[in-house]
Chains A and B, each alone.
Chain A
């Protein structure tokens, strides 16, 4: 599906934000790697749905009425096989907040390899237009506000300098005994989002806010594990 059609479809359905699957299709449309995924209609459909996929799996409830899936108990990770996914769906369906919501299905994703969590976000400035943001995940963004912004469109050098600007940049290079992760993979995502023909330039007026959180970056690549797109 073309990215413009995804947005049109969501608007037609009266949504204020893209659902997770549509968000990831949108990212994939701009060349950002997303986890291989499938939607199961119910617990009984799991075994057939995930045939050929590689565990471990993450399970997420799909409902336009549940904005914060984790808080609602609608996310379960590290599931090793079809049996565990099936059981997890059954358990999740019994959680009161989920039971009360309109469920559109169950998203089953291959889990990204372990790595550094990064946040890539976008904001709109009334005068400058779209800005792209990057920060390291967790406390770095939320508590230390260790983030870098640039006005779109950005160049590759801008993206390189955004990472250099982060106080926690050394973590990307394998500080404290961790494995180094690919800066190039993050830079590529920044360009696909904020670069010359990137998402923010093409869809400047469609979204009020957008972020990829987390983007999990390993030595070889970066995978957008969760994404949020709030429509205008």
Chain B
């Protein structure tokens, strides 16, 4: 795609991601219906443009002047949110008379059930006749902080660089809410439901073109536009990382997907092939999907020197050994340091019980030396002499409680950040904050995570989670290196 083509694509979807006018169909004069909730949510998120409720008889809804049809609003409509009985929607869209750019149909009872197939076709035809693009039916909406649109209770208003398309609305909500809590900031998340018109490939095209988006996530159950997805991904050669979560990869999972969004077939072998050929990352679970989006949001892939050697540094001997095993299974090398690194670390004369090969196991007694600043000396040697491509710092928080000052954890991470900036671009830095589920420790972890996230550090719940995110990063680096 050249710049001009990309610009045109961005302009085409601007009314969806940044609407100037919004209409709502299905809001009740008594309040409480989903469209009423939608009105409240987008106002809370800071939507300042006109909102037009469409209603057959009401004069006013939620303090807003209501209109009889989509053709009668004062200004043309960029985005309309529709949640009324399915059969009523096609005539509504046909009457829009070219004044609506994007319609999102939340209602279900279409192609996901046998008796709704014809209605879905009517809906798609009506959208075309009315001159608009259609999202859904059977979806939840769009979350676009840039455009002050949301379908979930609001999170931060700040826009970010992660663009997602989800075939499932509920999972889309999970991705937004869990993602926000992990520090992911979105350029947008669109739920496309049954894909009667707009499909995952359209959103993929948009996110590739959109300069705000740096990493793309896709939750797909079945895609009739799979061939177009393949062709786009192949052309883009992983210019932006694309993280895929595919539902229905087993026979029973596929049966569940068919009844969920009403689409057919799809062979898992084809999706694995797609990943190998185009460099998109195929993840296995929601956690892995979010962890992988997070790593691509925060770290810059190093395509000239793909990640090979990983250093594990933290407290917890057994946890380090288990992590070394799990990393080995992922093909990540946690190998002992060369002698010169070991000699330099030995010269620090760290307390007994500290392991200075790799994994580097530092009990709390070691880490709290000098109020945590000892970490700087250790990491300085690891970066300066050991030169790994990635360092995973894992802190089991429970042993710190009651034994060390609250600022020790802070100091350990600050020390890591200083070393990180002393050796710019040398190693990926990942932080794992481990909690045992105790309420006090969970609360401390949440605060600490927020601080780390603000510094641009990806934070993971367990060492293994950081491992598969790192594996995805390496796969991307290798792919770009081989195809670049």
Rounded to whole angstroms, the CA-CA distance of A93 and B440 in the bound complex is: 86
Per-residue 0/1 for B102-126: is the Cβ within 8 Å of any A Cβ (1 yes, 0 no)? 0000000000000000000000000
Which residues of chain B are within 8 angstroms of A123 by Cβ–Cβ distance? 267
User: Taking the complex as formed, is A150 at the interface, i.e. its CB lies under 8 A from any CB of chain B?
Assistant: yes
Contact status of A127 and B266, CB under 8 A, knowing A151-B230, A157-B482, A157-B483: yes
Which residues of chain A are within 8 angstroms of B274 by Cβ–Cβ distance? 128, 151
Please name 19 further chain A to chain B contacts, defined as beta carbons within 8 Å, in addition to the given A128-B273, A131-B270, A165-B276, sorted by A numbering.
Answer: A123-B267, A125-B226, A127-B224, A127-B226, A127-B227, A127-B265, A127-B266, A129-B227, A131-B267, A148-B273, A150-B276, A150-B277, A151-B274, A151-B277, A157-B482, A157-B483, A158-B276, A158-B277, A161-B276
Contact status of A151 and B270, CB under 8 A, knowing A129-B227, A165-B276: yes
What's the minimum C-beta distance from A18 to chain B, rounded to whole angstroms? Answer: 24
User: Taking the complex as formed, is B42 at the interface, i.e. its CB lies under 8 A from any CB of chain A?
Assistant: no
Which residues of chain B are within 8 angstroms of A154 by Cβ–Cβ distance? 277
Residue of A nearest to B263 (CB): A127
Rounded to whole angstroms, the CA-CA distance of A165 and B224 in the bound complex is: 28
Contact status of A150 and B227, CB under 8 A, knowing A126-B265, A127-B265, A127-B266: no
User: Taking the complex as formed, is A30 at the interface, i.e. its CB lies under 8 A from any CB of chain B?
Assistant: no
Which residues of chain A are within 8 angstroms of B270 by Cβ–Cβ distance? 125, 127-128, 131, 149, 151
Residue of B nearest to A132 (CB): B273
* Chain B residues bordering chain A, tally (CB within 8 A): 20
Which residues of chain A are within 8 angstroms of B223 by Cβ–Cβ distance? 127
Highest count of chain A CB atoms <10 Å: which of B224, B265, B270, B483: B270
Q: Which residues of B250-284 are within 8 A (CB) of A?
A: 264-267, 269-270, 272-274, 276-277
What's the minimum C-beta distance from B222 to chain A, rounded to whole angstroms? Answer: 8
Q: Lowest 10 A-B CB distances belong to which pairs?
A: A127-B226, A149-B273, A149-B269, A125-B270, A128-B270, A126-B265, A150-B273, A128-B226, A125-B267, A151-B273
Rounded to whole angstroms, the CA-CA distance of A158 and B270 in the bound complex is: 14
Per-residue 0/1 for A120-152: is the Cβ within 8 Å of any B Cβ (1 yes, 0 no)? 000101111101000000000000000011110
Which residues of chain B are within 8 angstroms of A127 by Cβ–Cβ distance? 222-227, 265-266, 270
12 A-B Cβ contacts within 8 A? A125-B226, A127-B222, A127-B224, A127-B227, A127-B266, A128-B226, A128-B267, A131-B269, A149-B270, A149-B272, A151-B270, A161-B276
Which residues of chain A are within 8 angstroms of B264 by Cβ–Cβ distance? 126
What's the minimum C-beta distance from B76 to chain A, rounded to whole angstroms? Answer: 35
Which residues of chain B are within 8 angstroms of A126 by Cβ–Cβ distance? 264-266
Residue of A nearest to B264 (CB): A126
The B interface, classified by DSSP as helix, strand, loop or mixed, is helix
Rounded to whole angstroms, the CA-CA distance of A128 and B232 in the bound complex is: 12
Which residues of chain A are within 8 angstroms of B269 by Cβ–Cβ distance? 131, 149
Per-residue 0/1 for A66-110: is the Cβ within 8 Å of any B Cβ (1 yes, 0 no)? 000000000000000000000000000000000000000000000
Interface residues of A (CB under 8 A from B): 123, 125-129, 131, 148-151, 154, 157-158, 161, 165
Rounded to whole angstroms, the CA-CA distance of A154 and B222 in the bound complex is: 23
Which residues of chain A are within 8 angstroms of B230 by Cβ–Cβ distance? 128, 151
Rounded to whole angstroms, the CA-CA distance of A126 and B254 in the bound complex is: 14
Rounded to whole angstroms, the CA-CA distance of A128 and B272 in the bound complex is: 12
Rounded to whole angstroms, the CA-CA distance of A161 and B226 in the bound complex is: 22
Residue of B nearest to A154 (CB): B277
What's the minimum C-beta distance from A142 to chain B, rounded to whole angstroms? Answer: 16
Q: Which residues of B431-451 are within 8 A (CB) of A?
A: none
Highest count of chain A CB atoms <10 Å: which of B222, B225, B269, B482: B269
What's the minimum C-beta distance from A117 to chain B, rounded to whole angstroms? Answer: 21
Highest count of chain B CB atoms <10 Å: which of A123, A127, A149: A127
Per-residue 0/1 for B204-242: is the Cβ within 8 Å of any A Cβ (1 yes, 0 no)? 000000000000000000111111001000000000000
Q: Is the CB of A128 within 8 A of B227?
A: yes
Rounded to whole angstroms, the CA-CA distance of A12 and B222 in the bound complex is: 37
What's the minimum C-beta distance from A120 to chain B, rounded to whole angstroms? Answer: 15
Which residues of chain B are within 8 angstroms of A149 by Cβ–Cβ distance? 269-270, 272-273
What's the minimum C-beta distance from B450 to chain A, rounded to whole angstroms? Answer: 41
What's the minimum C-beta distance from B281 to chain A, rounded to whole angstroms? Answer: 16
What's the minimum C-beta distance from A161 to chain B, rounded to whole angstroms? Answer: 6
What's the minimum C-beta distance from A195 to chain B, rounded to whole angstroms? Answer: 13
Rounded to whole angstroms, the CA-CA distance of A210 and B276 in the bound complex is: 23
Which residues of chain B are within 8 angstroms of A129 by Cβ–Cβ distance? 227
Which residues of chain B are within 8 angstroms of A157 by Cβ–Cβ distance? 482-483
Highest count of chain B CB atoms <10 Å: which of A126, A157, A158, A161: A126
Rounded to whole angstroms, the CA-CA distance of A99 and B482 in the bound complex is: 57
Residue of B nearest to A161 (CB): B276
Which residues of chain A are within 8 angstroms of B273 by Cβ–Cβ distance? 128, 131, 148-151
Rounded to whole angstroms, the CA-CA distance of A74 and B170 in the bound complex is: 59
Which residues of chain B are within 8 angstroms of A125 by Cβ–Cβ distance? 226, 265-267, 270
Residue of B nearest to A125 (CB): B270
What's the minimum C-beta distance from B114 to chain A, rounded to whole angstroms? Answer: 19
What's the minimum C-beta distance from B184 to chain A, rounded to whole angstroms? Answer: 29
What's the minimum C-beta distance from B248 to chain A, rounded to whole angstroms? Answer: 12
Rounded to whole angstroms, the CA-CA distance of A48 and B161 in the bound complex is: 75
Residue of B nearest to A123 (CB): B267
Rounded to whole angstroms, the CA-CA distance of A150 and B274 in the bound complex is: 7
Rounded to whole angstroms, the CA-CA distance of A150 and B227 in the bound complex is: 13
Residue of A nearest to B482 (CB): A157
Which residues of chain A are within 8 angstroms of B224 by Cβ–Cβ distance? 127
Which residues of chain A are within 8 angstroms of B482 by Cβ–Cβ distance? 157
Residue of A nearest to B226 (CB): A127
Residue of B nearest to A129 (CB): B227
Rounded to whole angstroms, the CA-CA distance of A150 and B305 in the bound complex is: 27
Which residues of chain A are within 8 angstroms of B222 by Cβ–Cβ distance? 127
Residue of B nearest to A157 (CB): B482
Rounded to whole angstroms, the CA-CA distance of A148 and B226 in the bound complex is: 19
